[in-house]
Amino acid sequence: MNNNSDMLSGKLGGKILNFALPLAATGILQQLFNAADIAVIGRYVGKNAMAAVGSNSPLTALIINLFTGISIGANVVIARYIGMKNKDGVKRAVHTSLVVAVLSGIFIGLICEIFAHSLLGLLSIPDNVFNMALLYFRVYILGMPVILLYDFASAIFRSRGNTRTPLICLLTSGLINVVLNLFFVLVMKMTVDGVALATVFANLISSALLVWFLLHEDSEIRLFPKELRIDLNIFRETIKIGIPAGVQGMVFSLSNLIIQSSINKLGADVMAGSAAAFNIEIFAYYVINSFGQACTTFTGQNYGAGNPQRCRQVLKITLLQDMSLTVALSALILCFGRPLLGIFNSSPEIIDTGMIRLKYILAAEFINVVIEIFSGCLRGYGLSLVPALICTVGICGVRIGWIYTVFPKNQTFSTLMTAYSLSWLVTAAAMLIAYQIMKRTSLKSFFEKEDTVKAA
């Protein structure tokens, strides 16, 4: 069955949902499988081990988000060539992307292994948790080549409107991940290294499945092993869009890393409660992000095809759909927050802490919708640097300022969580202003096409 979508014609509403919902499900499933790591550790090893795994999340996200951003660059480049009906460009971009993924994974894996102790030392992890956190990180980072291969291969399928194939591959590998978690921890008597090893094997399986599907693809994104090489022109295009997108993702992670460092100073119970809440609240973010990526891909193809009116429609529809689903999901999670947190650990202190985080984050998550959709739209036009700079100042700047000015005067978990909503509000306002400016400057000639058509 062909899961590819025609983004250049037909009604957009259903096509955007068909693109975004499997992508959101992929993110949610991925997080569920990550949450399985936390749950198994929390239930069968202890809260210190749970805190050790949770304290790794901001650091691993910081590393992965840079290259996920570069994969978004590949997505935009391929989507644009598809819109232009340039099959040779698509082929060169596909093969360049896969080579970049593997080489980047090997390089960053080696760097992280060498500097693992120093990197984790920046997080203020308590002594009774640090050794387990280091062990988890060292094992997890071994899987970096296959983690990035999955991200880039998924981006290739997304550029063609296919988000279902990556979902199928993730579901298969994720179920294996859960089984391996239990096997390594309960049977082999391993601790955090067991769940990290299970994650490495699961990522290997999911990336191998995606490569297999690319080898048997019947469209222009098909993989031919003999064509695997880096095309420098394609690489430059990808980096031009991907690096700013990656930096934007890193900014989110860097600010979370700084906040995590402050959380770690509040003790193991707060660390564990925050880790549990993070693994629940992020479900809403995956919905937000999926529509942001839909906006990027649909805009990229239609920008390549020279259709400004359809690009406007993409922005409106993705914003409306994303806002509706995010608000509904956030409300649902808040209603069932306590039993969901209880899955990770039954301690009342940990559950109370987790609820504080859920309330502060989810009540303001709708603001994040504006940031993701307008960022995604600008990336689709190839303007990745603008949203990256805005997020650097608005997200990272506000949160760092909050932590070093307000938090020292009132060192509570609630005070820390306030930094999220405040930074989102500032960034969303700036993003809306920037979009209007870019329409009148960098994108002026593109949108003048629409005005010419209307006048005719």
What residue segments make up the domains of the chain, in order of their start? 12-440
Q: Name the residue type at position 172.
A: T
In the structure, what pLDDT confidence band is assigned to residue 213 with cuts at 50, 70 and 90? very high
In the structure, what pLDDT confidence band is assigned to residue 452 with cuts at 50, 70 and 90? low
Residue whose tokens read 């995604």? 376
Residue 453 has pLDDT above 70, yes or no: no
Q: What is the chain's length?
A: 456
- Could you tell me which of 218, 219, 221, 212 has the C-alpha nearest to residue 92? 221
> Rounded CA gap, 149 and 185, in Å?
27
> Rounded CA gap, 6 and 30, in Å?
27
* pLDDT score, position 50: 77
* pLDDT score, position 99: 95
> Rounded CA gap, 83 and 96, in Å?
19
In the structure, what pLDDT confidence band is assigned to residue 228 with cuts at 50, 70 and 90? very high
* pLDDT score, position 335: 94
How far out from the chain centre does Cα 242 lie?
13
Residue 451 has pLDDT above 60, yes or no: no
The stretch 51-55 carries a mean pLDDT of 78
From residue 211, give the alpha-carbon distance in Å to each of 94, 99, 146. 11, 12, 11
In sequence order, what are the residues at sequence separation of 6 or more whose Cβ sits closer than 8 angstroms to the Cβ of residue 226?
A: none
Residue 402 has pLDDT above 70, yes or no: yes
The stretch 410-438 carries a mean pLDDT of 93
* pLDDT score, position 3: 62
Residue 33 has pLDDT above 80, yes or no: no
Residue 57 has pLDDT above 80, yes or no: no
The stretch 6-22 carries a mean pLDDT of 89
- Could you tell me which of 75, 136, 145 has the C-alpha nearest to residue 104? 145
Residue whose tokens read 């990035």? 148
In the structure, what pLDDT confidence band is assigned to residue 55 with cuts at 50, 70 and 90? confident
Residue 160 has pLDDT above 80, yes or no: yes
The residue ranking higher by pLDDT, 26 or 319, is 319
* pLDDT score, position 1: 46
In the structure, what pLDDT confidence band is assigned to residue 41 with cuts at 50, 70 and 90? confident
The stretch 398-424 carries a mean pLDDT of 91
In the structure, what pLDDT confidence band is assigned to residue 358 with cuts at 50, 70 and 90? very high
Q: Which of 199-208, 250-259, 313-322, 431-440 comes out lowest in average pLDDT? A: 250-259
Q: Give residue-wise pLDDT tens across range 67-88.
A: 888 888 888 889 889 888 899 9
> Rounded CA gap, 156 and 94, in Å?
7
Exposed/middle/buried for residue 141 (C-beta within 10 Å: 0-12, 13-18, 19+): buried
Regarding pTM above 0.85, the answer is no
Q: Which of 12-16, 32-36, 106-110, 393-397 comes out lowest in average pLDDT? A: 32-36
Query: Average pLDDT of the chain?
Result: 88
In sequence order, what are the residues at sequence separation of 6 or more whose Cβ sits closer than 8 angstroms to the Cβ of residue 417?
A: 356, 357, 360, 361
